[in-house]
Structure 1
Amino acid sequence: MSDPYFFGYGSLVNTKSHAYPDPRPATLNGWRRAWVATPRFGVVLLTGVQAPGHSIKGLIAAVPGADWAALDARESGYSRVAASHAVDHDHPQRPDIAVYSVAPENRLERDSHMILLSYLDVVVQGFHEVFGEAGVQGFFDTTDGWETPILDDRADPVYPRHQQLTSDQTALVDGHLDRLSAQVKQRHEAPLPPEF
């Protein structure tokens, strides 16, 4: 039996943040992304949300031997959902595919929760390297919740899988946040969230 795959639509698009084999561009149909607060982290996470008529780009990659334990631990706070029927990809076989989503009962009102810029940077770097500038714009345009404040932690990243962006990638992130009139707060303006 062949290995199952996951569909990643956020930080898992960035292959510098994991070592899962056979990453391939793919599209998840009937979903959008959204920023949601959860009780687990005290920060806002990116989740997939079912949305008929919409689709999001991302990557599929193999989970060797169906050993989901490490990935489930990385994605704690999320539920693993079967999604084979909703994913378009170029894999010659038809592997089982799962997607991680924060269950509705685990979503909180945002209140003082914020998006970590170091987390967003990792996501955008992945989309830039896989899909180019058009893919980055597509990410921003197919994600809800940009009214959520963003904590600028680039100088001292809180996100454990943070990456060094090129100057062009940093400019892409900042340009789209400006376009969306996102509210970016400096460290001295907001309390530090706990580490992931």
Structure 2
Amino acid sequence: MTDRQIFGYGSLVNRATHGYQDTRPATLHGWRRVWVHTRLRPLAYLSVEPADAQIDGLVARVPGADRPALDAREEAYDPHDVTARLHDSSTEVAAEVFAVPARHASPPGVIHPLRLTYIDVVVQGFLEVFGEAGVERFFASTAGWNAPVIDDRAAPLYARHRPLTDRQRGIVDAHLAALQVHWA
């Protein structure tokens, strides 16, 4: 199997959730992040959709031997060929971005809420890679915050959950409060 480049825009930005060694901050133009539910999974997840927008993320080289694990992780998503611009230069790189296909997507809701531990993992990654300004851009460039959020920190529902520092938890909580999210 050959290596491939992917553009991660959610939990893949948190390097602690995968073992890809070659990752670089990048921007993807022409897409926006959105919370969706897919009938292929029980809870809401981040996806992307074409839009007049741009999002931050990581370009990661996925070794061929790791493709089966990546495909399993992204089984509810379809890959799309994209070009991302690396942050440390004006270099553009070809990559794949994974999006829940419209035929499987629906808005999240009470039965399929957003999980706080998933949000925590994503924000932790954005904070590490892009700093607090990147976290602000993450919240601003993501649609679907009107869905309910379930506080699962005491009993994490997200398989890749990570412990947060008090500072990280405070940043997540402050942004969710500013968005006036509805708690499930």
TM above 0.5: yes
**Aligned partner (choices 88, 102, 123) of residue 85 of structure 2:** 88
Moved over 4 A (4+): 90-95
**Mapped partners of 1:169, 1:162: distance in 2:** 13
Contact in 1 for aligned 2:85/2:91 (Cα 8 Å)? no
What is the aligned partner in structure 2 of residue 78 from structure 1? 77
Which amino acid in structure 1 is aligned with residue 24 of structure 2? R
Aligned length: 181
Where in structure 1 are there 5+ consecutive unaligned residues? 186-196
What is the aligned partner in structure 2 of residue 106 from structure 1? 104
Contact in 2 for aligned 1:40/1:77 (Cα 8 Å)? yes
Contact in 1 for aligned 2:123/2:172 (Cα 8 Å)? yes
TM-score using structure 2 length: 0.92
Where in structure 2 are there 5+ consecutive unaligned residues? none
Identity %: 47
What root-mean-square deviation, in Å, do the aligned CA atoms of Structure 1 and Structure 2 show? 1.9
Q: Secondary structure at the match of 2:147?
A: coil
Give the structure with the higher percent strand.
2
Which amino acid in structure 1 is aligned with residue 85 of structure 2? D
TM-score using structure 1 length: 0.87
Residue 62 to residue 169, structure 1, CA distance change in 2 (3 Å): same
**Mapped partners of 2:75, 2:150: distance in 1:** 22
Q: In the TM superposition, what whole-angstrom CA distance separates every residue of 1:113-162 from its partner, at most 9, and x where no partner exists?
A: 10011111000000000011111010000000000000100001011100
What is the aligned partner in structure 2 of residue 181 from structure 1? 180
Which amino acid in structure 1 is aligned with residue 74 of structure 2? E
**Mapped partners of 2:170, 2:17: distance in 1:** 21
Contact in 1 for aligned 2:108/2:114 (Cα 8 Å)? no
Contact in 1 for aligned 2:85/2:93 (Cα 8 Å)? no
